[in-house]
Chain A
Amino acid sequence: MSEYLLEMQGIVKAFSGVKALDGIDLVVRAGECVGLCGENGAGKSTLMKVLSAVYPHGTWEGRILWDGEPLCARDIRETEAAGIVIIHQELMLVPHLSVAENIFLGNEITGPGGLLNYAAMYQRAAELMAELKMPEVNVALPVSQYGGGHQQLIEIAKALNKKARLLILDEPTSSLTKAETAILLDIILALKKKGVACVMISHKLDEIAAVCDTISVIRDGTHVATRPMGELSVDQIITLMVGREIKNLYPREEHAIGEVIFEARNITCHDIDNPARKKVDNISFQLRRGEILGVAGLVGAGRTELAMAIFGCYPGRYEATVLLDGRVLQIDSPQAAVQAGVCLVPEDRKRHGIVPLLGVGYNITLSVLQRFSKYGVIDPSAEMQTIEQMIQRMHIKTATPLLAIQGLSGGNQQKAVLAKMLLPQPRVLILDEPTRGVDVGAKYEIYKLMMALVKDGMSIIMISSELPEVLGVSDRVLVIGEGQLRGDFVNAGLTQETVMAAAIGKAEALAA
């Protein structure tokens, strides 16, 4: 019998030559809860996907020992049979099926002839609900009757029903209210006592501190440290998480910053699935002429929702008051926002940025097509002239302006989307993760462009998950955490540690 329930040794996982994981070790004892920490993109989720065989054995290097035996699983079914169950960040329940049906989905209790044995399933489901301290749940009702917190616990019931010995929780509290979070943490403690081990990925260090015995920090795909929980202070954890040098990638140029031109007041966005929860909670801020305002925060903090509310496209219920030059703007649609002088380059390029079948040029002019038209008929040479200018200015590499944009590289697509949102000549430009999935060269060009734009008096709000980028480009930095404004810093001598501490919610601790 091995000392450890799970040993992962020297795990290397590469995506088309780029190493996402570079020799990671992780060990878990039975009944132990390990907190896995790291920045956005450090490799936490990738590691868990290797463990649960979302990436099957053979697509990565290294060794996994389970109960001292090598584990070579080819798919999730095999790891689940072994007792490793992963609960993803987004809930994977079928809303219209009952609680019991969800718990037994793919694992049904059947009688002769494949008929479902509902009595047995209801009984077992009710037992599980009692075990998880929520006997009030009626297992015959559809899952959609219950809120986000209950749903998360139903996911856990589903995992327990599979006789889980190791539970992997990926950001389990990201869609929960405070009260719901407390219940969940209690249950994790109770499970530990029964000998169920647990790996918890979370950005919220206080939650990790509450339930975990050990903390493992990874950074850029490598293992940084594993220590007993008590040995590390919050600042030490943060230093371990970021501890990266800012390389000289950022063409910071002097530019004049003028008066306040834009103001967002009391922006609140309600979660679509769980309206009791606020994704953005009463955030207000100001923006000056020629200023680059960086918006930092962890994934899911509410930054994208904030941008969507300003741009008039948040899909759920929201309240927002937006002022430009002291006048309240009536923004109820992206169309109104663009007309009012506010443009957004969205985070998800494929879904919200490009129109894949249209040519590169036609993507660029989509926002201002009326400009080249008389009585609705487009003047092709006027349009082509603008397209050529933009392609040159943005250094977009394309064989012809008519090539369908889906054939271009990510960097060139991003530049085309940027060009599209520059043509309306906005006063305020919101960039949501402007350099995601973009190569280093194109990144540099995008930063250069931002500098040129603010010199011309445009104001930019840049949302980014890359701290070095935020600190390298911004004049001022807003930090958002769990939907709230956690900090508003002038970017002079600002460190990654300060920003990260504010994002996690330990600003006071650090300041003291």
Chain B
Amino acid sequence: MQSIARSIQQIFSRYKILALLLAIVAIWSFFTWQSEGSFLTARNFANLLRQMAITGMLASGMVFVIIAGEIDLSVGSLLGLLGGVAAVLDASFHLPVALNFAIVLGLGLLLGLFNGYWVAYLRVPSFIVGLAGMLIFRGILLAVTKGSTISVESENFVAFGQSYLPVTAGYVLGVAIFVLQGVLMLRGRANRQRYQLAVPPLWQEAVKLVVIGLIIAGFVEALNSYEGIPLPVLLMLAILGGFSFLARHTVFGRRIYAVGSNLEATRLSGVNTRLVKMALFGVMGLMCALAGLTNTARMAAGSPSSGNMGELDAIASCFIGGTSMRGGSGTVLGALIGALIMASLDNGMSMLSVESYWQMIVKGSILLLAVWVDVMSGSSER
């Protein structure tokens, strides 16, 4: 009996993603049952993903910050500020959308680097830098918007948050991603064989590929049967692809993991660990800008309260997605699945008209549980 429990535990600690997917299935089944089917409609699915996109963008940046052993509490306020600035630039200065976006993205990068400079070079703990930024950025936002909601006038701006990828393009994209997955899998196998590493049996990989194919097909089909893939969701998927590449195949990515696993050893290897940390916060700032623009476009307005508690959702997503609190391990895919779980809880409970206080209690408990599971599986390994 105990050995069965142990082997189940081993499977889950090795394939954390599997456990997360099971959790999603359970949550979705529950809400579908409770809402008599209206949770699992194409329309709600599109809505759910759009809600998730913003948290997902933040979580994609946050996961690297946490892997490097830091934390950034200012992202919610920074999102709000950058979204607000974009709204003001549009409403008051009538800047062309492209220029507006360029300015906001640049500002996001700069403010992120500013945070990073305080952490990496002035050696203020990131928790404090984040806490300060949370107040400062929110304060500036209130000053910029003078405390009132500012409507976006430009149609192109709004389209950024509210338009969809045409149905045909969606199918083409789905097929392309599937083929890419297949090619990557074969290349990975060839590579592992070249270096005499253990290769899983072909049927296992084939099953994995079929499952991935089914997920992609279901995903594209569901969204296309409504209006197509929402643009922010597309953007989020692009970030997922780009950041996964960054994590595995770039110097910067490797150094992030090295810094998180042992900062001193990495520094003594001649790596400029401070620069790595500062750059990390720069990336986080850039993600805040993207999330802020998406948020403002989706609401067609910049509001002084937008992004409130956004940092908590992002951080919770990372931890639910299996990012280690000790630093050094975690994946972008995991963080995004974590964000999907958080968004599903929000969406489902709102649909069932659960009181908002209950929503907070449930989300908090899930976070506590997820981290407890991580600690338990971690301590049994050591």
Interface residue ranges, A against B (CB under 8 Å): 311, 313, 333-335, 337-339, 343-344, 346, 351-358, 362, 366-367, 369-370, 373, 376-378, 380, 384, 388, 400-402, 420-421, 424
Q: Which of B261-276 contact A (CB under 8 A)?
A: 261-262, 264-272
Residue contact B195 to A400, C-beta cutoff 8 Å: yes
Instruction: Knowing A369-B254, A376-B250, A376-B251, say if A346 contacts B197 (CB, 8 Å).
Output: no
Residue contact A334 to B270, C-beta cutoff 8 Å: yes
Q: Which of B184-225 contact A (CB under 8 A)?
A: 191, 195-198
Q: With A and B bound together, what is the CA distance between A76 and B20 in angstroms?
A: 47
Shortest CB-to-CB span from A215 to chain B, Å, is 40
Q: With A and B bound together, what is the CA distance between A96 and B328 in angstroms?
A: 32
Residue contact A355 to B270, C-beta cutoff 8 Å: no
- Please, which residues of chain B bring their CB within 8 A of the CB of A388? 195
* Interface residue count on the B side (C-beta < 8 Å): 26
Residue contact B250 to A378, C-beta cutoff 8 Å: yes
Interface residue ranges, B against A (CB under 8 Å): 191, 195-198, 249-252, 254-255, 257-258, 261-262, 264-272, 328-329
Residue contact B265 to A338, C-beta cutoff 8 Å: no
A-B contact pairs, 23 of them (CB 8 A): A334-B269, A335-B271, A351-B264, A352-B265, A353-B265, A353-B268, A354-B262, A355-B261, A355-B266, A356-B262, A358-B254, A358-B257, A366-B254, A366-B258, A367-B269, A367-B270, A373-B250, A376-B251, A377-B250, A377-B251, A378-B250, A388-B195, A401-B195
Residue contact A354 to B250, C-beta cutoff 8 Å: no
Q: With A and B bound together, what is the CA distance between A346 and B195 in angstroms?
A: 30
Shortest CB-to-CB span from A405 to chain B, Å, is 10
Residue contact B264 to A335, C-beta cutoff 8 Å: no
- Please, which residues of chain A bring their CB within 8 A of the CB of B271? 335, 366-367
- Please, which residues of chain B bring their CB within 8 A of the CB of A344? 268
Q: With A and B bound together, what is the CA distance between A15 and B262 in angstroms?
A: 28
Q: With A and B bound together, what is the CA distance between A355 and B269 in angstroms?
A: 10
Q: With A and B bound together, what is the CA distance between A40 and B250 in angstroms?
A: 44
Residue contact B261 to A334, C-beta cutoff 8 Å: no
Residue contact A358 to B268, C-beta cutoff 8 Å: no
Shortest CB-to-CB span from A403 to chain B, Å, is 9
The residue in A366, A376, A400 that gathers the most chain B C-beta atoms within 10 A of its C-beta is A366
Residue contact B262 to A335, C-beta cutoff 8 Å: no
Q: With A and B bound together, what is the CA distance between A369 and B255 in angstroms?
A: 9
Shortest CB-to-CB span from B263 to chain A, Å, is 9
Residue contact B270 to A370, C-beta cutoff 8 Å: no
Q: With A and B bound together, what is the CA distance between A339 and B272 in angstroms?
A: 12
Residue contact B266 to A366, C-beta cutoff 8 Å: yes
Instruction: Knowing A373-B251, A378-B250, say if A400 contacts B196 (CB, 8 Å).
Output: yes
Partner of B251 from the list A335, A369, A384, A424 (CB cut-off 8 Å) is A369
Residue contact B251 to A358, C-beta cutoff 8 Å: no
Residue contact B328 to A335, C-beta cutoff 8 Å: no
Instruction: Knowing A352-B265, A355-B265, A356-B261, say if A339 contacts B270 (CB, 8 Å).
Output: yes
Residue contact A380 to B265, C-beta cutoff 8 Å: no
Partner of A355 from the list B191, B198, B250, B262 (CB cut-off 8 Å) is B262
Instruction: Knowing A366-B258, A378-B250, A401-B195, say if A354 contacts B265 (CB, 8 Å).
Output: yes
Shortest CB-to-CB span from B100 to chain A, Å, is 29
Residue contact A370 to B268, C-beta cutoff 8 Å: no
- Please, which residues of chain A bring their CB within 8 A of the CB of B251? 369-370, 373, 376-378
- Please, which residues of chain A bring their CB within 8 A of the CB of B255? 369
The residue in B254, B262, B265, B268 that gathers the most chain A C-beta atoms within 10 A of its C-beta is B268
Q: With A and B bound together, what is the CA distance between A362 and B271 in angstroms?
A: 13
Complex A-B, nearest 8 residue pairs according to Cβ-Cβ distance, in ascending order: A338-B270, A357-B261, A357-B328, A367-B269, A355-B262, A366-B269, A355-B261, A369-B251
Q: With A and B bound together, what is the CA distance between A438 and B195 in angstroms?
A: 28
Residue contact A313 to B266, C-beta cutoff 8 Å: no
The residue in B195, B255, B267 that gathers the most chain A C-beta atoms within 10 A of its C-beta is B195
- Please, which residues of chain A bring their CB within 8 A of the CB of B329? 357
Q: With A and B bound together, what is the CA distance between A393 and B96 in angstroms?
A: 60
Q: With A and B bound together, what is the CA distance between A273 and B237 in angstroms?
A: 51
Q: With A and B bound together, what is the CA distance between A388 and B196 in angstroms?
A: 12
Q: With A and B bound together, what is the CA distance between A323 and B139 in angstroms?
A: 52
Partner of B197 from the list A334, A377, A378, A402 (CB cut-off 8 Å) is A402
Q: With A and B bound together, what is the CA distance between A169 and B254 in angstroms?
A: 46
- Please, which residues of chain A bring their CB within 8 A of the CB of B328? 355-357
- Please, which residues of chain B bring their CB within 8 A of the CB of A356? 261-262, 328
New A-B pairs, 8, CB < 8 Å, besides A311-B268, A335-B271, A352-B264:
A334-B269, A362-B254, A366-B254, A366-B269, A367-B269, A370-B251, A401-B195, A402-B195
- Please, which residues of chain B bring their CB within 8 A of the CB of A380? 191, 249
- Please, which residues of chain A bring their CB within 8 A of the CB of B195? 384, 388, 400-402
Q: With A and B bound together, what is the CA distance between A384 and B255 in angstroms?
A: 17
- Please, which residues of chain A bring their CB within 8 A of the CB of B264? 351-352
Partner of A334 from the list B249, B262, B267 (CB cut-off 8 Å) is B267
Q: Which residue of A lies closest to B328 (CB)?
A: A357
Q: With A and B bound together, what is the CA distance between A11 and B52 in angstroms?
A: 66
Shortest CB-to-CB span from B329 to chain A, Å, is 6
Q: With A and B bound together, what is the CA distance between A376 and B270 in angstroms?
A: 17
Instruction: Knowing A376-B252, A400-B197, A402-B197, say if A335 contacts B261 (CB, 8 Å).
Output: no
Q: With A and B bound together, what is the CA distance between A355 and B251 in angstroms?
A: 15
Q: With A and B bound together, what is the CA distance between A334 and B191 in angstroms?
A: 34
- Please, which residues of chain B bring their CB within 8 A of the CB of A400? 195-198
Q: With A and B bound together, what is the CA distance between A380 and B249 in angstroms?
A: 8
- Please, which residues of chain A bring their CB within 8 A of the CB of B266? 355, 366
